[in-house]
């Protein structure tokens, strides 16, 4: 079962800004880095954000991460059709001594 909570879906029209929340606890998000992944249909997950706010060089600046307390968010600005995918948050959990994932959010571009 997933330890981190995400909304099941989010949507927007091209060019809009979409935000995805990720809620955890003091043993995971509250004390460790948050990571975000994008999974396109039929593909392996791809790292979008690491260490709460950092983007790999190949990830567009339209994707941004933030963290406050035991919650985190991923924002996608200037939404594009190719952003239609599943998005997952993750963090190390000190109590479980393992990574925990969010439930996943399906983003639809209307």
Tokens of 95: 């109590």
Q: What are phi and psi of 81, to 5 degrees?
A: -60, -35
Nearer to other proteins, 31 or 50 (CB): 50
- In the block, which residue shows the tokens 């919650």? 71
Question: Shortest gap between Cβ of 31 and other proteins (angstroms)?
Answer: 15
Between 11 and 54, CB nearer to other proteins: 54
Please identify, using beta-carbon distances, which residue of 71 and 105 lies nearer to other proteins: 105
CA 103 → CA 14, 56, 87, distances in Å?
25, 23, 9
CA distance 30 to 13: 33
Q: Which residues pair with 21 in a beta bridge?
A: 73
51: CB partners within 8 A, 6+ apart = 33, 35
Q: Does 24 bind other proteins (CB under 8 A)?
A: no
Q: Which is nearer to other proteins, 83 or 93 (CB)?
A: 93
The footprint of other proteins on residues 78-97 (CB under 8 A) is 88, 90, 96-97
Q: Can you tell me which of 15, 60, 69, 98 binds other proteins, judged by CB under 8 A?
A: 98
Binding site for other proteins (CB under 8 A): 2, 33, 35, 37, 39, 44-47, 50, 56, 88, 90, 96-104
């Amino acid at each position: 079962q997933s330890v981190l909570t995400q909304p099941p879906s989010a949507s927007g029209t091209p060019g809009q800004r979409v935000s995805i929340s990720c809620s955890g606890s003091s043993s995971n998000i509250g004390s460790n880095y948050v990571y975000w992944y994008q999974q396109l249909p039929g593909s392996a997950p791809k790292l979008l954000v690491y260490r709460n706010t950092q983007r790999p060089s190949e990830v567009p600046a339209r994707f941004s991460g933030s963290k406050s307390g035991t919650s985190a968010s991923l924002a996608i600005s200037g939404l594009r059709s190719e952003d239609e995918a599943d998005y997952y948050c993750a963090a190390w959990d000190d109590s479980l001594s393992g990574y925990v994932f969010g439930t996943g959010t399906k983003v639809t571009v209307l």
